[in-house]
Protein backbone atom coordinates (compact mmCIF):
# COMPACT_ATOMS: atom_id res chain seq x y z
CA UNK A 1 0.00 0.00 0.00
CA UNK A 2 1.26 3.49 -0.77
CA UNK A 3 1.79 6.32 1.65
CA UNK A 4 -0.98 8.85 1.15
CA UNK A 5 -0.30 12.56 0.80
CA UNK A 6 -2.75 15.28 1.83
CA UNK A 7 -2.60 18.18 -0.64
CA UNK A 8 -4.20 21.57 -0.06
CA UNK A 9 -4.44 24.14 -2.84
CA UNK A 10 -5.20 27.85 -2.60
CA UNK A 11 -5.81 29.70 -5.87
CA UNK A 12 -8.30 32.03 -7.56
CA UNK A 13 -11.77 30.67 -8.31
CA UNK A 14 -11.17 30.18 -12.04
CA UNK A 15 -8.00 28.17 -11.36
CA UNK A 16 -9.81 25.85 -8.94
CA UNK A 17 -12.60 25.38 -11.49
CA UNK A 18 -10.01 24.47 -14.13
CA UNK A 19 -9.02 21.50 -11.95
CA UNK A 20 -12.49 19.96 -12.26
CA UNK A 21 -13.92 17.58 -14.84
CA UNK A 22 -17.43 17.66 -16.27
CA UNK A 23 -18.74 15.84 -13.19
CA UNK A 24 -17.27 18.48 -10.89
CA UNK A 25 -14.45 16.31 -9.53
CA UNK A 26 -10.78 17.20 -9.27
CA UNK A 27 -9.28 15.34 -12.20
CA UNK A 28 -5.64 15.39 -13.26
CA UNK A 29 -6.71 14.06 -16.66
CA UNK A 30 -8.55 17.34 -17.18
CA UNK A 31 -5.37 19.30 -16.47
CA UNK A 32 -3.02 16.92 -18.31
CA UNK A 33 -4.86 14.38 -20.49
CA UNK A 34 -3.11 11.26 -21.76
CA UNK A 35 -1.96 12.04 -25.34
CA UNK A 36 -1.92 8.45 -26.66
CA UNK A 37 -4.56 6.95 -28.99
CA UNK A 38 -5.30 3.86 -26.84
CA UNK A 39 -6.50 3.91 -23.24
CA UNK A 40 -9.30 1.37 -23.00
CA UNK A 41 -7.80 -0.94 -20.37
CA UNK A 42 -8.75 -1.16 -16.70
CA UNK A 43 -5.44 -2.80 -15.83
CA UNK A 44 -2.23 -3.74 -17.58
CA UNK A 45 -0.81 -7.20 -18.25
CA UNK A 46 2.80 -7.43 -17.07
CA UNK A 47 3.84 -9.60 -20.01
CA UNK A 48 2.27 -7.17 -22.49
CA UNK A 49 4.15 -4.28 -20.92
CA UNK A 50 7.41 -6.24 -20.90
CA UNK A 51 6.97 -7.08 -24.59
CA UNK A 52 6.29 -3.44 -25.47
CA UNK A 53 9.37 -2.28 -23.57
CA UNK A 54 11.53 -4.71 -25.55
CA UNK A 55 10.11 -3.67 -28.93
CA UNK A 56 10.23 0.04 -28.10
CA UNK A 57 13.81 -0.16 -26.82
CA UNK A 58 12.94 1.15 -23.36
CA UNK A 59 15.95 0.72 -21.03
CA UNK A 60 15.77 -1.44 -17.93
CA UNK A 61 15.50 0.19 -14.50
CA UNK A 62 18.46 2.10 -13.08
CA UNK A 63 18.01 0.14 -9.83
CA UNK A 64 20.50 -2.78 -9.94
CA UNK A 65 18.19 -5.44 -8.50
CA UNK A 66 15.18 -4.44 -10.60
CA UNK A 67 17.42 -4.18 -13.67
CA UNK A 68 18.68 -7.73 -13.10
CA UNK A 69 15.13 -9.07 -12.85
CA UNK A 70 14.06 -7.18 -15.96
CA UNK A 71 17.05 -8.42 -17.94
CA UNK A 72 16.28 -12.02 -16.97
CA UNK A 73 12.64 -11.58 -17.96
CA UNK A 74 13.60 -10.08 -21.31
CA UNK A 75 16.13 -12.81 -22.06
CA UNK A 76 13.48 -15.52 -21.66
CA UNK A 77 10.63 -13.63 -23.34
CA UNK A 78 8.67 -15.37 -26.11
CA UNK A 79 5.95 -13.33 -27.80
CA UNK A 80 4.19 -16.54 -28.88
CA UNK A 81 3.34 -17.21 -25.24
CA UNK A 82 1.24 -14.05 -24.88
CA UNK A 83 -2.48 -14.62 -24.46
CA UNK A 84 -4.74 -13.01 -27.04
CA UNK A 85 -5.68 -10.31 -24.53
CA UNK A 86 -2.04 -9.60 -23.64
CA UNK A 87 -1.08 -9.49 -27.30
CA UNK A 88 -3.78 -6.92 -28.06
CA UNK A 89 -2.58 -4.82 -25.12
CA UNK A 90 0.99 -5.14 -26.37
CA UNK A 91 -0.07 -3.79 -29.78
CA UNK A 92 -1.88 -0.89 -28.10
CA UNK A 93 1.11 -0.07 -25.92
CA UNK A 94 3.36 0.07 -28.98
CA UNK A 95 0.86 2.30 -30.79
CA UNK A 96 0.84 4.66 -27.81
CA UNK A 97 4.62 4.75 -27.54
CA UNK A 98 4.96 5.48 -31.25
CA UNK A 99 2.46 8.34 -30.96
CA UNK A 100 3.51 10.01 -27.71
CA UNK A 101 6.43 8.26 -26.02
CA UNK A 102 4.34 6.60 -23.29
CA UNK A 103 3.06 3.01 -23.20
CA UNK A 104 -0.16 3.75 -21.34
CA UNK A 105 -1.88 6.34 -19.17
CA UNK A 106 -0.22 5.20 -15.92
CA UNK A 107 3.19 5.44 -17.59
CA UNK A 108 2.24 8.99 -18.61
CA UNK A 109 0.79 9.85 -15.19
CA UNK A 110 3.99 9.01 -13.33
CA UNK A 111 5.80 11.67 -15.35
CA UNK A 112 3.14 14.28 -16.15
CA UNK A 113 1.18 14.11 -12.89
CA UNK A 114 3.89 13.09 -10.45
CA UNK A 115 1.70 10.26 -9.12
CA UNK A 116 0.34 7.19 -10.87
CA UNK A 117 -3.27 7.56 -9.68
CA UNK A 118 -5.76 10.39 -9.84
CA UNK A 119 -6.85 12.59 -6.92
CA UNK A 120 -9.03 10.91 -4.29
CA UNK A 121 -10.67 11.77 -0.95
CA UNK A 122 -11.27 15.19 -2.42
CA UNK A 123 -13.20 18.34 -1.64
CA UNK A 124 -13.16 21.81 -3.11
CA UNK A 125 -14.76 25.23 -2.84
CA UNK A 126 -14.11 27.32 -5.92
CA UNK A 127 -15.72 30.42 -4.41
CA UNK A 128 -13.32 30.20 -1.47
CA UNK A 129 -10.41 29.36 -3.78
CA UNK A 130 -9.55 26.08 -2.06
CA UNK A 131 -9.17 22.42 -2.95
CA UNK A 132 -8.00 19.41 -0.96
CA UNK A 133 -7.28 15.86 -2.05
CA UNK A 134 -5.14 12.80 -1.42
CA UNK A 135 -2.49 11.33 -3.74
CA UNK A 136 -0.30 8.24 -3.60
CA UNK A 137 3.36 8.61 -2.59
CA UNK A 138 3.95 12.23 -3.61
CA UNK A 139 2.53 15.69 -4.13
CA UNK A 140 1.46 15.98 -7.80
CA UNK A 141 3.78 18.91 -8.48
CA UNK A 142 4.22 18.28 -12.24
CA UNK A 143 0.50 18.54 -13.03
CA UNK A 144 0.20 21.63 -10.82
CA UNK A 145 3.07 23.21 -12.75
CA UNK A 146 1.15 22.58 -15.98
CA UNK A 147 -1.95 24.14 -14.42
CA UNK A 148 0.11 27.15 -13.36
CA UNK A 149 1.40 27.64 -16.90
CA UNK A 150 -2.20 27.92 -18.10
CA UNK A 151 -2.78 30.83 -15.70
CA UNK A 152 0.54 32.71 -15.68
CA UNK A 153 -0.84 35.77 -13.89
CA UNK A 154 -2.15 33.80 -10.91
CA UNK A 155 -0.40 32.31 -7.90
CA UNK A 156 -1.13 28.75 -6.80
CA UNK A 157 -0.18 27.93 -3.21
CA UNK A 158 0.37 24.27 -2.38
CA UNK A 159 0.62 22.68 1.07
CA UNK A 160 1.24 18.95 1.40
CA UNK A 161 2.03 16.36 4.05
CA UNK A 162 2.75 12.64 3.98
CA UNK A 163 1.05 10.26 6.41
CA UNK A 164 4.63 9.43 7.46
CA UNK A 165 4.44 12.37 9.84
CA UNK A 166 7.28 14.88 9.47
CA UNK A 167 8.64 13.51 6.20
CA UNK A 168 7.77 14.48 2.62
CA UNK A 169 5.90 17.65 3.50
CA UNK A 170 6.05 21.39 3.00
CA UNK A 171 4.70 24.32 1.03
CA UNK A 172 5.44 25.95 -2.30
CA UNK A 173 3.93 28.66 -4.47
CA UNK A 174 3.73 28.55 -8.27
CA UNK A 175 3.41 31.37 -10.77
CA UNK A 176 3.64 30.97 -14.54
CA UNK A 177 4.86 27.42 -14.01
CA UNK A 178 7.78 28.40 -11.78
CA UNK A 179 8.29 27.96 -8.04
CA UNK A 180 8.48 31.46 -6.57
CA UNK A 181 8.58 30.42 -2.91
CA UNK A 182 9.03 27.14 -1.06
CA UNK A 183 9.64 25.64 2.36
CA UNK A 184 10.12 21.87 2.04
CA UNK A 185 11.13 19.45 4.77
CA UNK A 186 14.63 17.99 4.37
CA UNK A 187 15.12 14.23 4.37
CA UNK A 188 14.32 12.88 7.85
CA UNK A 189 17.87 11.56 8.33
CA UNK A 190 19.27 15.03 7.67
CA UNK A 191 17.05 16.92 10.14
CA UNK A 192 18.03 18.19 13.55
CA UNK A 193 15.73 17.35 16.46
CA UNK A 194 14.38 20.89 16.28
CA UNK A 195 13.56 20.48 12.59
CA UNK A 196 11.90 17.14 13.20
CA UNK A 197 9.68 18.68 15.85
CA UNK A 198 8.80 21.55 13.49
CA UNK A 199 7.86 19.33 10.57
CA UNK A 200 5.96 16.83 12.67
CA UNK A 201 3.81 19.65 14.05
CA UNK A 202 3.33 20.97 10.51
CA UNK A 203 2.26 17.57 9.16
CA UNK A 204 -0.16 16.95 12.03
CA UNK A 205 -1.83 20.28 11.29
CA UNK A 206 -2.07 19.69 7.53
CA UNK A 207 -3.53 16.21 7.93
CA UNK A 208 -5.80 17.19 10.81
CA UNK A 209 -4.29 14.59 13.10
CA UNK A 210 -2.81 14.59 16.58
CA UNK A 211 -0.11 12.42 18.19
CA UNK A 212 -2.91 10.72 20.10
CA UNK A 213 -4.53 9.66 16.82
CA UNK A 214 -1.30 7.93 15.78
CA UNK A 215 -0.96 6.23 19.16
CA UNK A 216 -4.55 4.99 19.01
CA UNK A 217 -4.08 3.64 15.47
CA UNK A 218 -0.91 1.81 16.47
CA UNK A 219 -2.68 0.35 19.50
CA UNK A 220 -5.51 -0.93 17.28
CA UNK A 221 -2.96 -2.67 15.05
pLDDT digits (tens, 9 = 90+) for 77-102: 899 999 999 999 999 999 999 999 99
pLDDT in tens, 112-140: 999 999 999 999 999 999 999 999 999 99
Res 214: pLDDT = 66
| pLDDT score of 76 | 86
Dist CA 35 CA 59 (whole Å)? 22
Please tell me the distance from the alpha carbon of residue 125 to that of residue 13, in angstroms, as a whole number: 8
Buried b (16+ CB within 10 A) or exposed e, 81-98: ebeeebbbbbebbbebbe
CA distance 51 to 162: 35
Give the dihedral sign, CA 28/30/34/38.
positive
> What does 122-161 look like in DSSP terms, one character per residue?
EEEETTTTEEEEEEESS--HHHHHHHHHHSTTSEEEEEEE
Q: What was the pLDDT predicted at 216?
A: 59
pLDDT for 36: 96
Whether 203 and 169 have beta carbons less than 8 Å apart is answered as yes
- Look at residue 117 in the predicted model and tell me its pLDDT: 94
The residue ranges of the chain whose pLDDT is under 70 are 213-221
Q: Return the pLDDT at 22.
A: 96
**pLDDT confidence of residue 221:** 58
Q: What are the structural domain ranges in the chain? A: 4-34+132-220, 46-103
Amino acid sequence: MPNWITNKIAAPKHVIKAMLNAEGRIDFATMAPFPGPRDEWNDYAVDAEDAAKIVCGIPVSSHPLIASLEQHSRASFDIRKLSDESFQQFVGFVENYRACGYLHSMDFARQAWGTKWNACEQKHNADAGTAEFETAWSCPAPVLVLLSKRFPDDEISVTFADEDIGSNCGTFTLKAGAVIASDIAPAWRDMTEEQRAKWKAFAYQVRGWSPEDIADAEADD
